[in-house]
C-alpha cells in the first residue's frame, strides 16, 4: 500500500511505475500544509491581502490601488532559480525546480546542471523512477559546499545507482531545439557534447528584490540580496527582511527562524542573534545527507587545529537490520578544547539525526560530552556517539 502511494504497483508479476501518482500525492501534501497556514492566519486574526505590493515609504505599502499604512514592514519575497548566463529557462526543455515539481510525466533522459542540494535531490528521485540522469557539476565534488568526504561518498553512491556524474565539468553552451537539449561541456581541456530530453537548471537562486520599491526608499542590497542585521532590520528604520531574499541560507527552517527574530524584534523582545554557521543542512537524496557546523576544510581555514572521527553505518546494528548501511558520520573538533565544530552524516534517515548534534554545537559541547551521552540501542543515532569515541581515540566497536 505504501508503494502504491508513490506510484509503484504490481500487475501480476510485472512492476508498474506511475510517476504522476507520486507527483499528485506531493501536491496534496503541499496543499494540506498551505491550508493549515491559512487556518493559522485566520485563527490569529492576520489579514491576508492578495496582490502585487510596492513599498512607498517605511510606513506605506501599495497593493494595486489600495494603500496600507503601517509601523513596520517585513519583506519576505524569497528567491527564484538562477540560470547559466545566456541560457533561458523556457519551462519546457530547459526547466527549473518549479517546473520539475509540476511534471506529471517524466522524460526518458535529463541532464541536471548543478550538483548542489536541489540538483542531487531531483537526480536521485528521477533515477529511482527509471530516468537516464546525467549530473553535471563545475566544482570537483557533488554537494561542493559540504565536507569533501561526504561529497566523495555521495558521488560513489550515485554512480553505483547508474547516475552519470560529471564533476569538474563546465557548461559552455546550452542549445534547446527540436524537443531536445544539447550541452557543450569541457573538462580538463576536453570538449564534449551531451544530449537529453530535458535539462534542469539548479545552480542557485537570485533574489526577488526588484520592482518592490526598495530603491525608492533606500534599502541597501548586495548583489540584489537585502542586507539585514541580527534583528533582521534593514538600514531603513521600520523595514525588515527575512528568508531567501536576505541571501543568508536558502533553507525553509532558516527563513522561519528569521521570521521569529523579526517578529520578536518588532514586539520589543530580547532577541538572540542567529548563528548561521550552526544551522542544520539536509539533502533528501539516497543516501541522505545532513550536516551542521564547519567542514574540516573550513575549520582549518579559520585557524583551528582539528581532529576528526568517522564511524560507518555498516558497523551499526539498526542499519544492518534495515539492510541500508551505506555511509558514515564524520565529526570535526578542535584539538585544544575538543569542542565540536561540525557533524557531517551520509546514510539512512540521517536528516532525522542531525537535530541532536545541532543542539550540541549550539551549546558548545565537547567530544567527551557527546561520547558520554548514552544513545539508545539499537538506533541509527549510535553512529554519532561512536564517531566521538573514534575522535577521542577510545573506539570500542570498530
Express each pLDDT in 22-79 by its tens digit. 999 999 999 999 999 999 999 999 999 999 999 999 999 999 999 999 999 999 999 9
Q: Is residue 396 part of a domain?
A: no
The predicted-structure confidence for 98-117, as pLDDT tens digits, reads as follows 999 999 999 999 999 999 99
Say how far apart CA 42 and CA 125 lie, in whole Å. 36
What does each C-alpha distance from 8 to 25, 120, 130, 173, 376 come to in angstroms? Answer: 13, 22, 12, 37, 34
249 and 189 assigned to the same domain: no
Q: Are 310 and 390 in contact (CB under 8 A)?
A: yes
Last residue of a domain, one of 253, 274, 295: 274
Say how far apart CA 41 and CA 315 lie, in whole Å. 48
Confidence band, pLDDT 50/70/90 cuts, at residue 1: confident
Q: Is residue 176 part of a domain?
A: yes
180 and 216 assigned to the same domain: no
Say how far apart CA 354 and CA 380 lie, in whole Å. 11
39 and 10 assigned to the same domain: yes
Q: Is residue 298 part of a domain?
A: yes
73 and 160 assigned to the same domain: no
The pLDDT of residue 12 is above 80: no
Q: Is residue 86 part of a domain?
A: no
Q: Are 55 and 73 in contact (CB under 8 A)?
A: yes
291 and 367 assigned to the same domain: yes
Give the dihedral sign, CA 233/239/241/246: negative
The predicted-structure confidence for 176-233, as pLDDT tens digits, reads as follows 999 999 999 999 999 999 999 999 999 999 999 999 999 999 999 999 999 999 999 9
pLDDT of residue 133: 99
pLDDT of residue 81: 95
CATH number of the structural domain spanning residue 154: 3.50.50.60
Give percent of the chain above pLDDT 70. Answer: 100
Structurally, how many domains does the chain consist of?
4
pLDDT of residue 5: 86
Residue 24 lies in domain: 1-48
Annotated catalytic residues are 377
Last residue of a domain, one of 202, 222, 252: 202
The pLDDT of residue 10 is above 90: no
The predicted-structure confidence for 147-182, as pLDDT tens digits, reads as follows 999 999 999 999 999 999 999 999 999 999 999 999
- Cell numbers at residue 77, please? 519575497
214 and 317 assigned to the same domain: no
Average pLDDT over residues 345-369: 98
291 and 381 assigned to the same domain: yes
Is residue 208 packed enough to be buried (19+ CB in 10 Å), middle (13-18) or exposed (0-12)? middle
Q: Is residue 360 part of a domain?
A: yes
CATH number of the structural domain spanning residue 307: 3.30.390.30
pLDDT of residue 363: 97
pLDDT of residue 89: 94
Confidence band, pLDDT 50/70/90 cuts, at residue 288: very high
Give percent of the chain above pLDDT 90. Answer: 94
170 and 102 assigned to the same domain: yes
Q: Is residue 87 part of a domain?
A: no
112 and 249 assigned to the same domain: no
246 and 109 assigned to the same domain: no
User: Of 13 and 170, which is predicted with more confidence?
Assistant: 170
The pLDDT of residue 249 is above 80: yes
Q: Is residue 178 part of a domain?
A: yes
Q: Is residue 359 part of a domain?
A: yes
Last residue of a domain, one of 246, 274, 302: 274
44 and 55 assigned to the same domain: no
Residue 378, preceding peptide bond in cis (omega within 30° of 0): yes
262 and 122 assigned to the same domain: no
The mean of the pLDDT values for the chain is 96
Is residue 42 packed enough to be buried (19+ CB in 10 Å), middle (13-18) or exposed (0-12)? exposed
Average pLDDT over residues 333-352: 98
Amino acid at each position: 500500500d505504501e508503494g502504491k502511494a508513490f506510484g509503484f504497483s504490481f500487475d501480476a508479476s510485472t512492476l508498474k511505475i506511475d510517476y504522476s501518482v507520486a507527483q499528485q500525492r506531493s501536491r496534496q501534501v503541499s496543499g494540506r500544509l498551505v491550508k493549515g497556514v491559512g487556518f493559522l492566519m485566520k485563527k490569529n486574526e492576520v489579514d491576508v491581502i492578495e496582490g502585487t505590493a510596492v513599498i512607498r515609504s517605511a510606513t506605506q505599502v501599495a497593493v494595486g490601488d489600495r494603500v496600507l499604512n503601517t509601523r513596520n514592514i517585513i519583506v519576505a519575497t524569497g528567491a527564484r532559480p538562477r540560470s547559466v548566463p545566456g541560457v533561458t529557462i523556457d519551462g519546457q526543455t530547459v526547466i527549473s525546480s518549479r517546473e520539475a515539481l509540476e511534471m506529471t510525466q517524466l522524460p526518458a533522459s535529463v541532464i541536471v546542471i548543478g550538483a548542489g542540494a536541489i540538483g542531487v535531490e531531483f537526480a536521485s528521485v528521477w533515477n529511482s523512477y527509471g530516468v537516464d540522469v546525467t549530473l553535471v557539476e563545475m566544482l570537483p565534488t557533488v554537494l561542493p559546499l559540504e565536507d569533501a568526504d561526504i561529497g566523495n561518498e555521495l558521488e560513489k553512491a550515485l554512480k553505483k545507482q547508474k547516475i552519470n556524474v560529471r564533476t569538474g565539468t563546465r557548461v559552455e553552451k546550452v542549445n534547446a531545439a527540436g524537443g531536445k537539449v544539447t550541452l557543450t561541456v569541457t573538462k580538463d581541456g576536453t570538449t564534449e557534447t551531451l544530449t537529453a530530453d530535458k535539462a534542469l537548471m539548479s545552480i542557485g537562486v537570485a533574489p526577488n528584490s526588484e520592482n518592490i520599491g526598495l530603491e525608492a526608499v533606500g534599502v541597501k542590497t548586495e548583489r540584489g540580496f537585502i542586507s539585514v542585521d541580527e534583528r533582521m532590520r534593514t538600514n531603513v528604520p521600520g523595514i525588515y527582511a527575512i528568508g531567501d531574499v536576505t541571501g543568508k541560507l536558502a533553507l525553509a527552517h532558516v527563513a522561519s527562524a528569521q521570521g521569529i527574530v523579526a517578529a520578536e524584534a518588532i514586539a520589543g523582545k530580547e532577541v538572540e542573534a542567529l548563528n548561521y554557521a550552526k544551522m542544520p543542512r539536509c539533502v533528501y537524496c539516497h543516501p541522505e545527507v545532513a550536516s551542521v557546523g564547519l567542514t574540516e576544510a573550513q575549520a582549518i581555514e579559520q585557524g583551528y587545529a582539528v581532529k576528526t572521527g568517522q564511524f560507518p553505518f555498516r558497523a551499526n546494528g539498526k542499519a544492518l537490520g534495515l539492510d541500508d548501511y551505506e555511509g558514515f558520520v564524520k565529526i570535526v573538533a578542535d584539538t585544544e578544547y575538543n569542542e565540536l565544530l561540525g557533524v557531517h552524516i551520509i546514510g539512512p534517515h540521517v536528516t532525522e539525526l542531525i537535530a541532536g548534534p545541532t543542539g550540541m554545537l549550539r551549546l558548545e559541547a565537547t567530544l567527551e560530552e557527546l561520547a558520554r551521552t548514552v544513545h539508545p540501542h539499537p538506533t541509527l543515532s549510535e553512529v554519532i556517539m561512536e564517531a566521538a569515541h573514534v575522535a577521542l581515540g577510545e573506539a570500542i566497536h570498530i
